[in-house]
Structure 1
Amino acid sequence: MADRAAMNPLDAPTRVGEPSPEPAPIATVAVLAPLEKPLSYAIPPLLREQIQPGVRVVVPLGRRRALGVVLEVACGKDDGLRLLDEVLDAQPLLPPDLLNFLRRAAAYYHHPLGEVLRTALPAGLSSITTRVAILTERLYRPTPSSVVPPGTRQREVLAWLRERGEASLAEIAAQFPAPHAVLKRLVELEMLSVREAERRRDPFFAAPPPADARPTPSADQQRALELVLESLAARRFAPMLLHGVTGSGKTEVYLQAISATLGQGRQALVLVPEIALTPQLVARFRARFRDADQRVAVLHSGLSDGERYDAWRAIARGEISIVIGARSAIFAPLPDLGIIVVDEEHEAGYKQGEGWRYHARDLALLRAQRCAAVVILGSATPAMTSFHRARTGATAYLSLSERILGRPLPEVSLVDLSGRRLSGALAPELVEALAENLARREQSLLLLNRRGFAPFLLCRECGATFRCPNCEITLTYYQSHRHLRCHYCDYVQRPPQQCPDCGGTSLDPEGAGTERLEEELAAAFPGARIARMDRDTTRRKGAHQGLIEGMELGAIDILIGTQMVAKGHDFPGVTLVGVVGADASLNFPDFRSAERTFALLTQVAGRAGRGERPGRVLIQTYAPAHHALTCAARHDYLAFYEQEIAFRRDLGYPPFGHLINLVLSGNQPAQVESRAAELAAELDQVSAGVEVLGPAPCALARLRGRTRFQILLKAAARPPLHRLLAAVDAWRRKLPRTLNLAIDVDPLDML
């Protein structure tokens, strides 16, 4: 017989003759912690009227208090259940449709629901200890008084306010310097009323740019809009791929489609892959949608906690019509979402790399399906999977085949470096082209997808390099700071005077990064205004915006950058684009390496010639015959797709198959390897319809001090994969705390 003391109180039998306990309301709560399942809590009588799905609550968890979100409320026996401590929200913070969407997303990616909810909520709403202050401001409104104020400035301020209706002190001060005395006197004369209201911290508070005229759509744009507007009118789920060459006016299609959505009283969500793209896009949207009832909010990790907190709450209150942001903006609590735009939908930036490894593009499709919204996936280089869905009819296909105003695509030349030794990072052809562009006072853009001064420091005497002690990677050398840095764990060390292996003193930087290229260009063109855009130069808030404004104002002659310069920027003054190290991404151990290379080269080439002057592109390469480069040089997406899709079909890779990557990591290499082999053997026994590949060391076999092994699950359909994950979940429960198993559904890289 089982030990009675060990029995669950809910399982204890009722004694004969005893009355059954009265049913009481019980809350099912997803605690914001890595717990496998939601927990049940009894609701104290004083809190019963406040409890409803979607509100945040404080609950006891072991010996501590934790934050959770109520999922359901039902009546049942509360024998032995712990009581809720506190209710934090008067109204549901997560409306039912958003809460159900997050539950579905957690199930698909096999990630704890509490951690999913923590990811979805901004700082200040996802923690008990982290609180964000609510700011207030004074709002001034004219009264019905007909008295004419005595002073000239008083009359000017009052007239302006009567035209506006109401304005904050900051807005008034932007129009009338030092208005405090004037406002105080108008309030004393009872010509203005004043009230305190919550102030939203807005990173784009400055007055909106001049109104953006709505241009007449081209024939291609009009055809695309007609299909979008038809689906919007029908209020049905409609996924669409907007495939437009660079500079073809995809953003204008977004703007007009969103205008129609707002006309229906619904909201819009616009996703971008990089926060660097938001300033230009936000300016464009604020110029087009200037009305008070069409406010634009921004959500991304570059904002302060207060800015994200205020924006999120304003969205939840229904005060926002358009949300623009990076991947986490997919969780914005828009109450009546009518359209989702995923700009540059092919970008890997939409995939979360750690923790909950969701893909924002795929979640956009799921969310739109659940709220009967239109989804526009826009790109000049669509992901292979997205284009395949369009070709098979699963997604509507919208094409913009020409640039606006008939502008030509840039002329692209491949500079063959095979058999040549360069004195620097740039071939003479590119140096000459830069000199010609500077002479014409035209702007140039250079892509080199490596940060730092050099990828590594090399001992010329014994060939030794310096590697990160925590990661399986060489340390990048930074000349400006005289240090070596790991780009994965941020480990830093000073370069030694002598090689630790042989004692040699010939330690030289090998290869080139953006810092070295900037130095080389400064020496070659001393009078040129040169700037660099990479993660090192854009850490400071506002740095992205400063570089973008510098390009727009013509204050920069040559902009050097990593792949962030290739993504969606519209610089009309750029007529020359150069690509250095175009072959680097081709050598990644990933079946998508050619696709990524083609997309990057096509996108960066598209930055040239977007204004009135034609553009040209020079791509330095050691593999000029590779189809990713030859097709990019011809701007020929279809030819690239046809060659690449045949390879995918033969090997059963997406879109002809589906993948899940299991990554086991720990501090003890032998333990990680043996446990990975054990898991693979167990899965082999129950893997009906699933191919189990591995275990094998990850491409980055050691990362942040942890050894990593991976097992790749591959199948022609998704259901067998997700059924197999039930065995993975059961096995994961038996893991010691020293090991971690990450489940990556639909992985984008195998590093």
Structure 2
Amino acid sequence: MLKVALTEKGFPATTPGAWRVEVALHTPAHAALDDRLSYTAPAALPPGTLVRVPLGRREVLGVVWDAVPLEAGSSEQGAVALKLVAAALDDLPPLGSAWRELVAFAARYYQRSLGEIALAALPPQLRDLSGVQLARRLKRRRTGSEDAAATAAPAADATPEQAEALRRIEAEAGPFLLFGSTGSGKTEVYLQAVGRLLARAPDAQALVMVPEINLTPQLEARFRARFGSEAVVSLHSGMTNPQRLASWLAAHAGQARIVLGTRMAVFASMPTLQLIVVDEEHDPSYKQQEGARYSARDLAVWRGRNEGAKVILGSATPSLESWHQSRPAEGDDPGGRYVRLAMPSRVGAGALPAVRLVDMALQPPKTVLSAGLLDAIGQRIARGEQSMVFLNRRGYAPVLACGDCGWKSECPHCSAYRVFHKIDRTLRCHHCGFAERVPRACPACGNPDIAPVGRGTEQLEEHLAELLAPVHRPDGSPVRVARIDADSTRKQGALESQLAAVHAGDVDVLVGTQMIAKGHDFRRITLVAAVNPDGALFSSDFRAPERLFSLLMQSAGRAGRDAAYLAAQGATAEMWIQTSHRDHPLFAALRRHDYPAFAQGELTERRAAAMPPFAYQALLRADAKTQEAAQAFLNAASVAADALEGADRVTRYPAVPLAIQRVANVERAQMLVESDSRAALQRLLAQWQPLLHGLRRTPEGKGVIRWLIDVDPQQI
């Protein structure tokens, strides 16, 4: 470890052979500091070296980006008194050039500082470890993991569709869009693609990404069973800091052959990366919604191209961007950049579930579950089968209200209602977290008859248990209804134990949010029901129909995944959808499981409206003490942009409040920026940055707490 002494004033002595070192740091937000700060070191430090440097009164972790010799007594050194690097963590191999290029691209494209991206990509515990502590950990890893070679267990026989997909993945460059129906065996393609890679190149590494933490345990179990525990590590925010550091070190040293993770794993340091898999590539969870708002899916494609690694994007309902990029050549259209691989058939000759639409306009008023749906669930319980009921709203009811004076459970800090949670008798805001006990009477008029309005998963679970009480399981025991959502899985290990109960057959009806709709391989579920999906049909967000179709089709895919089980039961898989708009084109495509037809319709509308993927967008967001201040800042920013080069190629729409305009007493507004040229949009955003920093110091910036740019936003 490099240790150097400082002079009495805290500056380095002018010694021959000193070096000027450019270091990427996570500097304070909107400090308008350069991407890299300069320090001196008595010896050359290779780019990618982790160092500790003084910043203000603190000592922080940084990444060396460049180093140049600095002659003793030179004018450059005399002009600026540079501080000295405090220490270098040189027991750790430097971060490679490919990793630095990925970070630099992400910082440029998503309009964030280099240091913010670089430091966020590193395990948090690295910031606190001294060089000696890090050396001890590295020594323990070397002695405990001498051999992490992946020894693949025998693979299952590939179906003809899987075999053709694997053949093309080996023969062609990609990137590949693996368009496989739910239950078609996309995971087996991933496993065999990784196995073939490691058989060819035992030192190669593969990155496999999933959209959400709750999908990692089952995927990790399959990869460990196939390749052994030593070869596989996980990287996601649900791990403890020591666990994340251990996994990151194993990947960085090349000891881990396979890294499984969520969106943060796209920045994992993997020096011999040769394959990237992005499962459920359509999922909005791949887009970071705080801080640096990057898309892990898009960065995975860029990283694969930059590092010569093959990229597989897998989904039964691809994002419209990826679907458009994988279009075949036709006429004057040269086609997309991706290679589309189709796997339309389910493994084991299983059929996709029949979709049944229930017209709620024909049901009695206030019907929650139609009689036909209840009867179908009861029949399955009596045969020992499982059902899944999907409602994408947690809590007992979205609002508590007084029928006398009209009081509602508004959050005092947000422009949203607090959700009623019956299980702990609280009103809880899902935006700022503010919670209070349910009042005994209306706070406004004293009426004791305040009542829930609408329903969430808690109420649905309770309602189902009451309605199904007369039904019994084959052994005569009562029905068991369980709920899986963000509330029921809050405790560590709760999700794993609840999923295990479902897999073991201890649950007859599973109620939940979108957490249960994606990726899970439930073998005994033969019926899936969506209770109230209509809200997204008429949303102001143009992506809402795409997300709804994907969610419903993914939910349907949880039913009838085991053809042998269905045959033994003499059952058929079904998807029930309760809707008041059964003639909507989205449901027509869903009944046929026809994603291509749905995608074609949506893309036709988007082309006519000049929306992505036929245009490129960014949002300029401002948070302020008042809505007027937020919008004034955005409008002033728009006026300032008029003078920028190429501003005429970028449309800037008027500033508007967000759908939920106040969160935690902060007012929020946004401005949509759009262009038919990605390059023109990026040029304007890059020129805009210094103007936005300057606006904070003008009257128009008064009251503004923060601003940010969201490139390729997923929600508008």
Is the structural similarity TM-score above 0.5? yes
Quote the residue 2:569 is aligned against. none
1:726 corresponds to which residue?
686
- Tell me the alpha carbon deviations over residues 557-601 of structure 1, each in whole angstroms, 9 at most, x when there is no partner: 111110011111111111011111111222432001110110000
Instruction: Provide the C-alpha distance between the structure 1 equivalents of 2:691 and 2:294, rounded to a whole number of angstroms.
Output: 22
> 1:40 offset after TM fit, Å?
4.1
Whether contact under 8 Å (1:714, 1:721) holds in the other structure is: yes
Question: Which of 666, 673, 679 is the matching residue for 1:713?
Answer: 673
Relative distance call for 1:291 and 1:739 in structure 2 (3 A) is closer
User: In the alignment, is residue 653 of structure 1 matched against residue 611 of structure 2?
Assistant: yes
Mapped pair 1:252 → 2:251: no
Preserved contact between residue 124 and residue 131 of structure 1 (Cα < 8 Å): no
Give the match for residue 543 of structure 1: 494
Q: Is the 8 A contact 2:363 2:370 kept in 1?
A: no
- 1:58 and 1:67 in contact (8 A); partners too: yes
Matched position secondary structure for 1:480 = coil
1:464 positional shift: 2.6
Q: Which amino acid aligns with 1:43?
A: T
Question: Which moved further from structure 2: 714-723 or 55-64?
Answer: 55-64
Deviation string 1:640-675 (CA, Å, 9 cap, x unpaired) is: 112111110011111100100111111233322221
Q: Deviations over 1:383-407 (max 9, x none)?
A: 0110001002311010001111211
Q: Match for 1:37 among 34, 37, 42?
A: 34
- CA shift, 1:199, in A, is 5.9
Match of 2:56 in 1: 62
Ranges in structure 1 where 5+ consecutive residues have no aligned partner: 1-19, 139-194, 201-207
Query: Match for residue 329 of structure 1?
Result: 265
Give the partner amino acid of 1:531. A
> Is this contact kept in 2: 1:471–1:488, CA < 8 A?
yes
Q: Which residue of 1 aligns with 2:664?
A: 704
1:137–1:197 CA contact under 8 A, matched in 2: yes
1:533, 1:564 within 8 Å by CA — same for their partners in 2? yes
Provide the C-alpha distance between the structure 1 equivalents of 2:154 and 2:367, rounded to a whole number of angstroms.
Answer: 46
In 1, the alpha carbon distance for the partners of 2:587 and 2:132 equals 51
For residues 573-722 of structure 1, what are the structure 2 equivalents within 5 Å?
573-611=524-562, 612=564, 613=566, 614-686=572-644, 687-722=647-682
What's the counterpart of residue 254 of structure 2?
A: 318
Give the alignment of 1:147-546 within 5 angstroms. Answer: 213-231=154-172, 238-263=174-199, 264-265=201-202, 266-290=204-228, 295-391=231-327, 392-421=335-364, 423=366, 425-526=368-469, 527-546=478-497
The 2-side partners of 1:719 and 1:44 are apart by 38
Q: Distance in 2 between matches of 1:311 and 1:376?
A: 23
Distance 2:132 2:412 in 1: 37
Alignment partners' CA distance in 2, 1:332 and 1:368: 13
Superposition pairs of residues 80-91 of structure 1, within 5 angstroms? 80-91=81-92
Alpha carbons 2:205, 2:254 under 8 Å: kept: no
Given the alignment of the two structures, is residue 741 of structure 1 paired with residue 679 of structure 2, yes or no? no
1:680–1:695 contact (8 Å) kept in structure 2? no
Q: Tell me, which stretches of 5 or more residues in structure 2 are unaligned?
A: 1-13, 71-75, 328-334, 470-477, 567-571, 698-702
Letter in 2 for 1:448: L
Q: Deviations over 1:351-392 (max 9, x none)?
A: 000100000000101111111011110000000110001002
SS across alignment from 1:418? helix
- 2:3 alignment partner in structure 1: none
Q: Which amino acid aligns with 2:662?
A: R
| Alignment-mate amino acid for residue 744 of structure 1 | D
Specify whether residues 59 and 402 from structure 1 end up closer, same or farther in structure 2 by C-alpha distance, changes over 3 A only.
same
User: Is the alpha carbon distance of 1:57 and 1:255 closer, same or farther for their aligned partners in structure 2, counting shifts above 3 Å?
Assistant: same
Q: In structure 2, do the counterparts of structure 1 residues 549 and 466 end up closer, same or farther at CA, with 3 Å as the change threshold? A: same
Taking a change above 3 Å as real, the CA distance of residues 316 and 135 of structure 1, as seen in their structure-2 partners, is same
Instruction: Report the equivalent of 1:78.
Output: 77
Equivalences for residues 3-152 of structure 1 within 5 A: 24-34=18-28, 36-45=33-42, 48=43, 51-76=45-70, 77-79=76-78, 80-127=81-128
Q: Which amino acid aligns with 1:693?
A: Y
- Structure 1 residues 498, 626: closer, same or farther in 2, change over 3 A? same
Taking a change above 3 Å as real, the CA distance of residues 131 and 604 of structure 1, as seen in their structure-2 partners, is farther
Distance 1:658 1:221, change over 3 A: same
Say if 1:261 and 1:449 are closer, same or farther in 2 by CA, change over 3 A.
same
Contact 1:447 1:561 (8 Å CA) reproduced: yes
Is contact 2:624-2:706 (8 Å) kept?
Answer: yes
Match of 1:43, SS? strand
Report the alpha carbon displacement of residue 114 of structure 1 after superposing the two structures with TM: 1.3
Give the counterpart letter for 1:247 in structure 2.
G
Counterpart amino acid of residue 108 in structure 1: Y
Q: What SS is found at the alignment partner of 1:567?
A: coil
**Cα distance in structure 2, aligned partners of 1:370 and 1:61:** 33
- CA distance in 2 between counterparts of 1:91 and 1:105 reads 24
User: Which amino acid counterpart does residue 543 of structure 2 have in structure 1?
Assistant: R
Would the aligned equivalents of 2:630 and 2:704 in 1 still touch at CA under 8 Å?
Answer: no
SS at 1:222's partner residue? helix
Q: CA RMSD in A?
A: 2.6
- Name 1:164's counterpart in structure 2: none
Identify if the C-alpha distance between structure 1 residues 662 and 421 changes in structure 2 by more than 3 Å, giving closer, same or farther. farther
- 2:505 match: 554
Q: Residue 438 of structure 1 aligns to a residue in which SS?
A: helix
Please give the alpha-carbon distance, in whole angstroms, between the structure 2 residues aligned to 1:55 and 1:469: 48
- Cα distance 1:358–1:478, how it changes in 2: closer, same or farther (>3 A)? same
Q: 1:701 to 1:250 in 2, by over 3 A?
A: same
Aligned AA for 1:362? D
Shift of 1:699: 1.1
Secondary structure at the counterpart of residue 82 of structure 1 = coil
- SS of equivalent residue, structure 1 residue 694: coil
Q: Is the CA contact 1:241–1:376 (under 8 Å) kept in the aligned structure 2?
A: yes
AA aligned to 2:123 is P
Contact 1:53 1:92 in 2 (8 A): no
Secondary structure of the equivalent of 1:78? helix
Aligned partner of 1:222: which letter?
A: A
> Does 579-588 or 339-348 show the bigger shift?
579-588
Farther off after superposition, 431-440 or 217-226? 217-226
1:136–1:729 CA distance, 2 compared to 1 (3 A) = closer
Letter in 2 for 1:615: A
Most deviating of 126-135 and 643-652: 126-135
C-alpha contact (below 8 Å) 1:125/1:131 kept by paired residues = no
Distance 1:64 1:733 in 2: 24
Distance, in Å, in 2 between the alignment partners of 1:93 and 1:584 is: 50
State the Cα distance separating 1:493 from its structure 2 match.
Answer: 1.6
Match of 1:185 in 2: none
Tell me, what secondary structure is at the counterpart of 2:158? Answer: coil
Residue equivalent to 1:172: none
Please give the alpha-carbon distance, in whole angstroms, between the structure 2 residues aligned to 1:212 and 1:535.
Answer: 35
User: 2:113 & 2:144 partners in 1: Cα distance?
Assistant: 35
Identity of aligned residues (%): 39
Tell me, in whole angstroms, the C-alpha distance in 1 between the residues paired with 2:246 and 2:369: 47
Task: Report SS of the residue matched to 2:171.
Answer: helix
Task: Name the SS for the 1:648 alignment partner.
Answer: helix
Tell whether the 8 Å contact from 1:684 to 1:692 is kept in structure 2 after alignment.
no
C-alpha separation in 2, matches of 1:198 and 1:706: 52
